[in-house]
Each structure stands twice: as C-alpha cells, then as structure tokens.
Structure 1
Amino acid sequence: MLVLAAMHVTLKEGRERTVLAEHPWIFSGGIDRRKSDAASIGVVDVRDHEGRFLGRGFHNPKSQILVRMLTRDQEPVDKAFFINKIRAAVALRETLFDRRVTDSYRLVFAEGDGLPGLVVDRYGTVLVVQFQAAAADFFRETILDALMEVLSPSGIFERSDVGSRKADGLTGEPVGVRRGTVPEGPMEILEEGLRAVVNVHTGQKTGYFFDQRDNRVALRRYCKNAQVLNLFSYTGGFTVNALAGGAARVISVDRSAAALELGQATVLKNGFVSRNEDWMVMDAFDAIDSFTGAGERFNVVVLDPPAFAKGTESLERALKAYTKMNAAAIGLVAPGGYFLTASCSHHVTPELFSNMLHLAALRAGRPLQILEFRGAGPDHPQPIHFREGNYLKCVIARVL
C-alpha cells in the first residue's frame, strides 16, 4: 500500500544525483520551492523535478540541512521503522564484538546506521543516547521506547549536551535518566579485555571515546619496555593500553583532575602499578614546553587533542595550532621511537591532516615513517558517499 507523507519537497533538476547516490543530506539550495509544500518541521516525501518519488526524510526549516534522509522506501516513519533500524544496527555490532571481551561500544552511529542525528552508546547494560539533531529529537519518545523493546537495558541516560542541537534549531541541552535506572557515579566497562572506569553523567561526549578503541589496541605493539607520554590523556584509554603492551612507564597529561582520577582507577583495576606523579593535571601545551625545556625524550608519544576546528571559519587557525603542537610533540620522541597523533574534526580532511603532519615533521627537523593511517572503529560505519562521516584520523609513525 502506498503511504504518503503529509508534506513533500521537490528537488531542482540535477539535484537528485546526490540523493540517488545515497547522500543523506539535502540543503535548501537544492529545493524547488515553487513545487514544494513543506513549510513546517516533520516527515516529507522527496521528489525529483518530474515528481518521481526518491525517498522520505525529515524536513527542518530551522537548519542549514533542510532535509535529512530517513528511507528510500515508501514506508511509515513510526515505532516499527525505528525498531527495524535499531535491530539492524545491533546485528552489525553482534558480529563485531564478543561481549565477554568488549561489552561497550557505539550501538547507533547516526547517518552511518540510517538514523540521522541519533547516537546510542552501550555501556554494559546501560544505554546513553544523544539526540543531536531535530530529525532524532522529534521522535525521542518513540526512539526510547524502541530501544527498550529491542535491547531491554537496565537504564537509558540522555547526554544531549552538544552544540550541534543549537545549529539545528533546537533549544536546551537535556541530560538525565530517561528509562530505568543508571548508576550515579563511576561504572566499569570492558573493552578489548581491559577494564575501564567511566562516568556517563560527567564525562566528555557520552562518557568515553569509543571511536579510538581500535587505535588504543594498535598502540600496544609499540610499547614494550617503553617510556610513554600520553598528552590529552582524558581517562587514560591510551595509557592502560600502553601498559597492556608492556610499557615500563606512562605519564598521562590532562587539564581535568576528574578525568585523571578515573584514569588512575582504570590502571589499578587492571592490576598495573600507578604512581601519583605519573598523572599530571596540566595543559598539554605547557607540558610539552616543560618536557622540551628539560630535554626529556620518550620512546612513544601520544597526541590526541580535542577538535580544534569546530567549523570552516576556524579551519585555518586550527591547522596552524595542530602543526605547532605536532611539531613540538615530535621533538619529544627519542630517535627510532613512535608517535601516535589524531584529529577528530571532520573539517580537517585526511588530506589536510597528512599535509599538516608533513609540515610539522619539517618544522621539527625529524623524518617520519608512516606505519599506520587509521580511523574510527567498525562500530562507526560510514556510508561511502558521506565523506562528512569520516571525521577521525589517526596516524602512527616512526620518528627518525
């Protein structure tokens, strides 16, 4: 049976190509407003310039992304729709993870799982959700009910304290328990055989950075008997993996005392020795200057800063900051040692990141051998035509 949406948008001639290529976003410039009746927020049918059905999406006149595609089929966007999408996302993760080894990961990755604006992270039996855009927030109660029906978690906690909501015309940054019960303080999760202590109430993002999981594991092979410096260490994910790889010592630097406290708890939970002096509450730039001034060198340096480029307007400034910091960090690596560096800004493309690293090596006067160019793990799937989803770049290099 044909199911029509209450509203429709018609694309200008030629603009259907991106939709047919399965890019999930339609901007206002692609819409022929003379042939469209969508004026308010809600589900719309998307048609080409000749009126042919292309799919169904969510229309938001307050956003630069006017329509976020939901489906290419003529199907109702209801609870059954979200249940099916969530089940498909769960099925993928069940092929990726043995929950006896890893019980926490990204369960729903927005456009990557066909649910634009929705992020769901699994922390053992607890789910943490982010409604990052109106396309998800509009259906929040339906989505929460669908998650309960499919997964039966002990609780669902919302962490929609993200800036993207404002850009999508949403007000407020809601945080709190939405279903069931959620521990009020730190909780333990299991990641690749290691325990991690996290706090979903107060931690960054949803409480932990699952996108770096595979890169943390990759670091292990370079750390045997190594002296390691972990800059922007947060809760010590790279720290504990370096120790699991046989590091002799890891110094972790972060401005957040609370994050370092969780990191130290993680190290102790896994049976490693932890010394208070190895956890430095300090700005990473200041730490680099201090170590450089003291002439210290490390066998491995990890540099995992926050996103400096929040938008295209700050890209040039961010690249200069990345270059300066990477050059200085490279200088702290002992000859023949290893350097892991990352950027989580989607505005910094892989090509820009490589160019930045090339310039940083020149400024440091230290040749680099690229050993691995990595990204987010497979629980962050990326549609082939959606380059905007390729946000995480991670390079492991040997410093000569």
Structure 2
Amino acid sequence: MEITVKINSKEGKKYKSGYPLILKSALMNPEVLEEEGSIIKLVDEKGQFIGKGYFGIQNKGYGWLLTKNEKETIDQDFFNQKIMAAINRRKPFFENTDTTAFRLFNGEGDGIGGLTIDYFEGYCLINWYSKGIFKFKDYIIHSITSMLPVKGIYEKKRFDTAGMYIEDDDFVTGERAQFPLIVKENGVKFAIYLNEGAMVGVFLDQRDVRMQIRDKYAKGKTVLNTFSYTGAFSVFAALGGAKQTTSVDLANRSLQKTQEQFEVNGLDPEKQEILVMDVFKYFKYAVRKQLLFDLVILDPPSFARSKKHTFSAAKDYTNLLKEAIAITEKGGVIVASTNASNFGMDKFKGFIDQAFIEMKGKYQLLEEFSLPQDFKVAKEFKEGNYLKVVFIRKIH
C-alpha cells in the first residue's frame, strides 16, 4: 500500500527536478508516516504526482525518492534493475586484478538512497542506513546473490537497533570469510575485518589519493599521517619510498591495526613510528621538539571528541591546518582532506586560505580530488559528493 504525502510548494520544484532526499521540513502531513519501509507517493499541493520512494529516518531525512515514474512498482524487479546497472558500471573494477576492494553500490548515486554495498575480494558488505531500507533486505540480498558470484555477504546496521533484534557478528549468507581477509588496492594489500563493527580496516573513498601519495609525493620524504586509523596512507607512503612515516591516532586499536597493514605488505612496522595519542597533543609535542615534516596528511573525522578536544570540521578545520602548517617544512606538502558533507570545496579552500593568512604564510594549490569513479554521485544531490581533498605546497 502506498501512502500519499504532500510536499509544500516551497520545496516542490526541488523534488520535481530529482532531488532524492525526502526532508521532514518539506512534508505537509508527516503524521501519516508510521512504519518505516512504507512506500510513499509524493504529490504537490494540487495533488499532482512528483515521485515514489520509501519512508526511512536517516539524519535529516525522512526517506528517499526512488522513481519519478508513477507506474513503476518498488518490487524485486526494481531492485534487480538498479543493482544490475550498478554492477555493469563497475565492470572495469571487476576486471582489474590489482584492485579487489571497491564500492559496488553507492546509495542515491546508483538510485537507492540509504544503501551502500562494498565489494571485498568476493565478499559483499551491505550498509543499511535506516530501518526503512532494511525492510527491503530480502529483495536486495536476492538481487546480489542472483547476479554476482559472491562467496558471502556481511552487513552493518547503521541505525538504532534497540529492541529490534540481537546483533550477531554481521554475517548474512554464503560462506564465512577467513579474517583478516586480504584485499588489494592498486597492488597494495589491506587486512580487512567484515565482522568487527562499523570499521572494517580501510576507507575505500581515498583510493586515488593514496595512489597519488605513493606515486608522486612520498619518495625520500618524512611523512606525518594524522587521524591515521589503520595507517593506510602511511603504508602507501612507505611503499612509495618515504624516508620515514609517523602515524598518529587516539584509538588504542590503531597501533595493532597499523602494524598489521605494514606487515601484510612485507614492511617492518618497527622501522615506522606508530603513536597512540591525541593528534592535537602531538602537534604541540612536535613544535616543542622542533620536528618538521615534508608531507603532512590531515584526514580527520567530520566530528570527533576526545577528553580535551571536540573537533568539528566546519568550525575547526582552519585551526587544524594552522597546527599542520607550523610543522611542515618550507616547500613541503599538506594533504588536507574532509568528508564533511555540510560544506563544499569553495568553503574548504576558504579554510585553507584563512589558515595561511593567520600563519602569515604563502601556499600553492597543487591538485584536488573528490570521490573516485566507483562512488557514483547524483548530480541533483550535491551533498552526496562529500569528499574534498587538496594537496597544498607550503611556500613559506
């Protein structure tokens, strides 16, 4: 059964032109929405059809628009078509033996908001971003298993599961993987754990940036990788001939995970520096010890909290850059990255400019990156293209 929801005239034009995220503020009668996963029909104030989607609470959204065709049914065939189209778009990835981990389905970019599917060496990992999309689980699992020779499927429920069911180890169907599962990215190995909570071992959206660091920026350089997670940037830098890498992250698990990533690539982690500490404390330590680096990588979460610091990319990135500028060699390079979706590249470059003005320094923008090819984005949904990475040379 379809539930009819009216869109107010202020927002109507946006949805008619294909904007996919159904915002609560756009709905005139949100009270009719009770059960997540319900199919909703959007109409304008005159009752004219705009599109169909599903009800699922996710961040600011109340669901996602799926089709502008009134006759289309949201059934098994609908999911088969969307997932098959996504698989066909990733053909070059399936044929590339040097890269065996990539995004197979990227939410609204591939036509179904609230759902992502990542591919890891024959295994699929599904991320469900609302109870609403989770209601279509059987359709989606069937689409994947009938169209791809997958070994097994794992899942992450990225919504509040209280009272719904007991969390297991995220395994869904097929055969269980042996962990660590070793995958490749541009010939470099990663140890992946699909059964250890939300973080699996690598962020796939930084693939192009890591390759650039290895192939163009690392040779003979001292490299500082902040908010380093499992040290993926450090491994690429080391394989690119870096003189020394230093990885800094507050999470205790980062030490063992980073050591493992070096080891699976035949590198001795004892020859690299891996520190478990607050990045902001490390900046102060580096200034005290007069440490300078040729290459500094800044890839903070868009929001983070430690005992002494709360970091929000929108408010605090300029100050973070100032800390980095202070310990970057003259002529050195800063890789500034953010996955915050609440501002665009122009504003991000404004943070860079402001930081250098306040530090009385000069800089040159070398190159910039956004999401790689497998992270398909919808042109009507700019927020979906969240990744912003800029390579900056510090002139003085």
For residues 217 and 58 of structure 2, the distance between their equivalents in structure 1, rounded to whole angstroms, comes to 48
* Partner residue in 1 for 2:368: 373
For residues 166 and 156 of structure 2, the distance between their equivalents in structure 1, rounded to whole angstroms, comes to 8
* Partner residue in 1 for 2:146: 149
Q: How does 1:243-392 map to 2 (within 5 A)?
A: 243-275=238-270, 278-308=273-303, 318-392=313-387
For residues 121 and 153 of structure 1, the distance between their equivalents in structure 2, rounded to whole angstroms, comes to 12
SS of alignment partner, residue 92 of structure 2: helix
* Partner residue in 2 for 1:227: 222
Q: How does 1:118-267 map to 2 (within 5 A)?
A: 118-160=115-157, 162=158, 165-166=159-160, 174=167, 176-183=170-177, 185-202=179-196, 204-220=198-214, 221-267=216-262
* Partner residue in 1 for 2:55: 59
Q: How does 1:66-77 map to 2 (within 5 A)?
A: 66-73=62-69, 74-77=71-74
Q: How far apart are residue 50 of structure 1 and its match? A: 3.6
- Residue correspondences, number: 388
SS of alignment partner, residue 19 of structure 2: coil
Q: How far apart are residue 139 of structure 1 and its match? A: 0.8
5+ residue gaps, structure 1: none
Mapped contact 2:156–2:198 kept (Cα < 8 A)? no
5+ residue gaps, structure 2: none
Mapped contact 1:8–1:38 kept (Cα < 8 A)? no
SS of alignment partner, residue 275 of structure 1: helix
For residues 156 and 359 of structure 1, the distance between their equivalents in structure 2, rounded to whole angstroms, comes to 46
For residues 323 and 88 of structure 1, the distance between their equivalents in structure 2, rounded to whole angstroms, comes to 41
The amino acid of 1:114's aligned partner reads G
Mapped contact 1:159–1:205 kept (Cα < 8 A)? no
The amino acid of 1:289's aligned partner reads K
For residues 304 and 251 of structure 2, the distance between their equivalents in structure 1, rounded to whole angstroms, comes to 21
Q: How far apart are residue 316 of structure 1 and its match? A: 9.7
- Relative to 1, partners in 2 of residues 1:95 and 1:22: Cα closer, same or farther, differing over 3 Å? farther
Provide the TM-score with structure 1 as the length reference: 0.88
Mapped contact 1:328–1:364 kept (Cα < 8 A)? no
- Relative to 1, partners in 2 of residues 1:334 and 1:101: Cα closer, same or farther, differing over 3 Å? same
Deviations 1:11-51 (A, max 9, x none): 334643112211102324433449x9766440122233343
Deviations 1:233-288 (A, max 9, x none): 11121112112322122111122343332322222332334325511122211221
For residues 61 and 242 of structure 1, the distance between their equivalents in structure 2, rounded to whole angstroms, comes to 40
- Relative to 1, partners in 2 of residues 1:295 and 1:100: Cα closer, same or farther, differing over 3 Å? same
SS of alignment partner, residue 157 of structure 1: strand
Q: How far apart are residue 107 of structure 1 and its match? A: 1.0
For residues 204 and 260 of structure 1, the distance between their equivalents in structure 2, rounded to whole angstroms, comes to 18
Q: How far apart are residue 328 of structure 1 and its match? A: 0.8
Mapped contact 1:198–1:262 kept (Cα < 8 A)? no
Q: Is 1:24 equivalent to 2:10 in the alignment? A: no
Q: How far apart are residue 118 of structure 1 and its match? A: 0.6
The amino acid of 1:258's aligned partner reads R
Mapped contact 1:335–1:399 kept (Cα < 8 A)? yes
Q: How far apart are residue 377 of structure 1 and its match? A: 1.1
Q: How far apart are residue 85 of structure 1 and its match? A: 0.8
Mapped contact 1:229–1:252 kept (Cα < 8 A)? yes
Deviations 1:89-133 (A, max 9, x none): 111111356430111111111111111111111111111111102
* Partner residue in 2 for 1:6: 2
For residues 88 and 75 of structure 2, the distance between their equivalents in structure 1, rounded to whole angstroms, comes to 20
Computed over aligned residues only, the root mean square deviation of the Cα atoms, in angstroms, reads 2.8
SS of alignment partner, residue 215 of structure 1: helix
SS of alignment partner, residue 64 of structure 2: strand
Q: How far apart are residue 350 of structure 1 and its match? A: 2.1
For residues 33 and 278 of structure 1, the distance between their equivalents in structure 2, rounded to whole angstroms, comes to 57
